Amino acid sequence: MNRVIALLFIFSYLFTPVIFAHGHQEVKLNDSFGEFVFITMGTDMAQYTLEKHNKSNQLELLESASDISLMRVPVAFLDEASHVAHENFNRCGGFMLHKNIHEAQKELGAWDVRDFAKNMPFSDYEINQEDKVSSMIAQVRESNISQMIKKLSSFKNRYYQSKTGVESQDWLFDKWSKIGQGRSDFSVKKWKHADWEQDSIVATIKGRSDDIIIVGGHADSVAGWWGRERAKAPGADDNASGIATTTEIMRILVQSGYRPEKTIMFMGYAAEEVGLLGSKEIAKDFKQNNKNVIGVLQLDMTNFKGSDWDIVLINDFTNENQNKFIGRLIDKYLPGVTWGYDKCGYACSDHASWTSQGFPSSMPFEAKKSQSNRQIHTSRDTISQSGDNAQHAQKFAKMGVAFIIELDI
What is the band of 81 on the pLDDT scale with cuts at 50, 70, 90?
confident
Active-site residue, from 281, 300, 350, 408: 300
Query: What CATH number is given to the structural domain containing 268?
Result: 3.40.630.10
Is 115 a catalytic site residue? no
Q: Please indicate whether residue 272 is annotated as part of the active site.
A: yes
Instruction: For residues 230 and 368, state if they share a domain.
Output: yes
pLDDT at 252 over 50: yes
Q: Is residue 114 part of a domain?
A: no
Catalytic residue among 218, 351, 366, 392: 218
Contact present, 96 and 114 (Cβ < 8 Å): no
d(CA 99, CA 87): 26
Q: What pLDDT digit, counting tens, does each position of 333-381 carry?
A: 999 999 999 999 999 999 999 999 999 999 999 999 999 999 999 999 9
225 pLDDT exceeds 60?
Answer: yes
Residue 34 and residue 144 in one domain: no
- DSSP 3-state of 201: strand
Asked whether residue 324 falls in the same domain as residue 273, the answer is yes
- The answer to whether 218 is a known catalytic residue is yes
Catalytic choice (248, 272, 350, 366) = 272
What's the rounded Cα separation, in Å, for the pair 372 and 379? 16
11 closest CA partner among 36, 34, 27, 30: 30
The CB-side HSE value for 224 (13 A sphere, CA atoms) comes to: 13
* 289 or 196, which is more confident: 289
pTM: 0.88
What is the CATH number for 67? 3.30.70
Q: Per the residue annotation, which of 107, 199, 220, 273 is the catalytic one?
A: 273
Say yes or no to pLDDT of 2 above 80.
Answer: no
Q: Out of 211, 220, 238, 342, which one is annotated catalytic?
A: 238
Q: Tally the domains of the chain.
A: 2
Predicted pLDDT of residue 15: 31
DSSP 290-314: T--EEEEEE----S---SS-SEEEE
What pLDDT is attached to residue 67? Answer: 86
217 and 250 together in one domain: yes
Query: Annotated catalytic, 53?
Result: no
- Is-catalytic flag, 98? no
Q: How confident is the model at residue 59 (pLDDT cuts 50, 70, 90)?
A: very high
What pLDDT does residue 13 have?
A: 31
In this prediction, residue 36 carries a pLDDT of 86
Per-residue pLDDT, averaged over 84-112, amounts to: 84
Residue 254: Cβ within 10 Å count: 21
Question: Could you say which of 22, 193, 377, 392 is catalytic?
Answer: 377
Q: Reply yes or no on whether 126 is catalytic.
A: no
Strands 200-205 and 186-191: antiparallel
Q: Say if 221 falls within a structural domain.
A: yes
Domain that holds residue 360: 122-407
Report the alpha-carbon distance of residue 163 to residue 172 in Å, rounded.
14
